[in-house]
Structure 1
Amino acid sequence: MTGTRPRLVLIGPPGAGKSTVGRLLAEHWGVTFRDTDSDVEATEGRSIPDIFVDDGEDYFRGVERAAVAHALTEHDGVLALGGGAVLDPDTQADLATHTVVFLSVGLADAAGRVGLTTSRPLLLGSPRRQWQQLMDARRGTYERLATSVVPTDRLSPEQVRDAVLEAVSA
C-alpha cells in the first residue's frame, strides 16, 4: 500500500479517546484503524513500558518515529498517534499535509478514562500531576498541528465521533 495516506490522523494526550474514537470513525467510513503505539509494540515484541524501562525514552522515540513515518505513507484508514509522537520535528513536518484532529481532554476526564496509572511510563510518580505537565507542554503543539480541535470532555465516544465527522466535513 505504499503511496497511500490516512483518511484522518488523531492526536492528543493519553485519555483523549484516540483509539476508541478512531475505531468508531473507521467503522463509520468502512476503513481500517491503526494505532502507532500498537505498531511499536508489535515491532519490538514488548510493551511500551518495557521499552522505556529496558532502553529508555530516546530509544522508544526513535522506534515510534519510524512507526509513524511508515503509517503515514502506508495506511489509508484512520490513524491514531501516540501522545508524544508529535514532539518529533520530522513527524510535525510530515503531518502538515494531512487531515489531523486534536482530541482535547481535561485532566478529570482523562483520569476517568485511563486511570492515569503507572503503566504509562511518562506518568510515574504522581500520574495526575505528570499528565497535567505533559498536557501543558504539548497543548500548543497539538493545536498547531491540528486542522481541527475537538473537545471530548463529558462526551461519549459516539458523541466525539460525531463531532469529529462534523469538524472534518466543515
Structure 2
Amino acid sequence: MDKEDKKKEDKPKKSNFKAFLRKRAPFYLAGIALIAISAYGVLTEKNLEGFFPEFTSEEEQIVDILMKYDGPNESGLTVMQAIENKIKEEYPDEKVFDNKKTKVELNILKINSDEYRIILNFQSHKGAINYDWNVNANSEKIISNNPESKYIINLVDFYD
C-alpha cells in the first residue's frame, strides 16, 4: 500500500485549468488582438488639434480661450468641435485629417498687451477655409473678423 500511495503522490495532478487554456488559448489571443487593433485605430485617429504647432505658454492660453469657448451659457459645443464639424460637413465620407495634402496653419499675432489676432487656415485637396478672430486675454471676448469665423461663433453661441 505504501508504494501505491507514493506513486499517487509522485504523479502530478492534471490541472483542469491548464487543459482549459490549452484548448482555448488561440481564441483568447485572437480576441485580444482584435481589441488591440480596434483601440489602435481610435487612438491614432488624427484631428484638428494634432496639426497645431507648439506654442509658448502665453500663446497656449490664448488658443485655449478661443478653442474651448463654448458660448455664453458655458455648456455645449466648443469652437474646436464646431470647426471640426464644419470640416466634416465639407468632406463627408473622407478622413480629411489623414490626407497628406491637408495642411492647417495657426498664426497668433499680438495686437496690443491684451488683444491677439488668431488666424486659422485649413487647406485640403478640395480648397481652403480661413478663420480670423480677435481674442482679448483679460475679458476673454472673441470678435470675428470674417464671415466663416462669425458663423462658427454664432453656431457655438446658439447651440442648444
Regarding TM over 0.5, the answer is no
Structure (1/2) with the larger helix percentage: 1
Q: TM-score per shorter chain, which class?
A: under 0.3
Structure (1/2) with the larger strand percentage: 2
- TM-score (ref. length: structure 1): 0.26
Bigger Rg, structure 1 or 2 = 2
